[in-house]
Structure 1
């Protein structure tokens, strides 16, 4: 229980609605900034503008999973206001406050560092990333089904990257009956993929491996599907890029070649926001309770 903890949500999307509900259940004091257009009102929650009198009380500030952009702007699906987290806002926060987000860009990292405010990136946690890979993989497969005229079963699929999302996605595709190639960078990943009955290859050989592939799923955040690779891809193939913006695909050249290439970041919030919000809320509660001092635990109990 987090009774007495002052929690401010600054912007967010459908995932945050589930997170808000969980914090209310845990008896925290919750204030919402940038949520004036939500249809359902939450009991025991207050609405506010981004102002000094709100942030100076905050023990916890929760941002969208993408944090801020490089100009400090904060996205909200439920507001038309321009929300900006800047030096003035950081001066309003008490020094013991913590900021939580999914993954932070350099602007937000530097802002917190300069003001001595702790920043916690939830997607750096293995448990969050692994749980989050499930709705990501399901969403990628949904997009493939919607945008192709063949079944997953019997198709020739390629997954680029064998991290937490790549591993989950490759496994799902294989269980649906696809022939799955996996592009890896390290010998241990090659061995793991081989042991799991995938067809591994090193991404340095991608140019030769993309021939006769029906579906390509990319999780690598660097430009891996460059123009010289795309020229080797069949016109009937589809590329689904799961890497964070701007992705790992030369989308301009893919369009020029007549190859359908879709950028699909943040799929958990689109295809399973309740589950994604539940994952983030549980991680947040665990982190907050672990980081509280014994005297704070007594206060919030």
Structure 2
């Protein structure tokens, strides 16, 4: 494949992705990518434009540290014959693209990329926890809130390190799977009275789960690691209670960008191949 790629915005994942694309013999232009030169006109005119994951941090603004760039203004630079790829596209931005006749594909809707991202997030979550703990995870009682992709993979990794794993979920099927794997299960709606022995809590649920009354039941040195984009742990309450609480957002991009970029690169080429675009 020999295409022209434009990478606009993002974090260290985009920088690693640019390197991978160049290694495959493609021409790559970048703008707002950490550590790489800015060439917005060339990047915006490329055959394939790869926008960041997530596409926006703030409503209507591209996820880009280099400049404040509204997506509506950026989309005016694109042509209908280009392929636009972005991650976690919000409805408003999808509508902006469609109104201009643009083809934008959300690469983060792919299951293969979601699984790879979840695996990277789970491993990075352990790294984050171990950097903030003064004791090992071996024989520590650990609670995972939510049993989706990240929750499942995190449970396996904690178990492999010798932690005592409890996973909390809402769906009866998830609770059954937790027990089938040999871990303790808990219903998220019935956590009261069961929180007094945990050394670490990892949240993956993007809605409030641990409010102040529940946080008060945790041991004073319990480490709370927030992995959801919308916090499920009341961080202000945790801080007032003296609980160590880390909002570990965008872990793949911050801690394992090379692995995360390789997964995005694979997804990009799968999308191009599945669309039947010429190589």
Same fold (TM over 0.5): yes
- Where in structure 2 are the equivalents of 1:139-158 lying within 5 Å? 139-158=124-143
Q: Among residues 54, 58, 61, which one is paired with 1:73 in the alignment? A: 61
Which residue is equivalent to 1:96?
81
Q: CA deviation at 1:54?
A: 5.5
Distance 1:153 1:69 in 2: 36
Which residue is equivalent to 2:265?
281
- Where in structure 2 are the equivalents of 1:94-173 lying within 5 Å? 94-173=79-158
Contact 1:11 1:76 in 2 (8 A): yes
Which residue is equivalent to 2:256?
272
Q: CA deviation at 1:193?
A: 1.0
Q: Number of matched residues?
A: 279
Structure 1 residue ranges without an equivalent (≥5): 42-46
Distance 1:195 1:145 in 2: 27
- Where in structure 2 are the equivalents of 1:189-208 lying within 5 Å? 189-208=174-193
Distance 2:94 2:211 in 1: 30
Which residue is equivalent to 1:25?
23
Structure 2 residue ranges without an equivalent (≥5): none
Distance 2:88 2:228 in 1: 13
Contact 2:5 2:43 in 1 (8 A): no
Distance 2:74 2:152 in 1: 40
Q: Among residues 22, 35, 52, which one is paired with 1:38 in the alignment? A: 35
Paired residue secondary structure (2:136): coil
Q: Among residues 214, 228, 238, which one is paired with 2:223 in the alignment? A: 238
Distance 2:88 2:195 in 1: 31
Q: CA deviation at 1:127?
A: 1.4
TM superposition score normalised by structure 1 = 0.85
TM superposition score normalised by structure 2 = 0.91
CA deviation profile, 1:54-106 (whole Å, cap 9, x unmatched): 53x333221111112344322345x3x333321x4323322133322221234
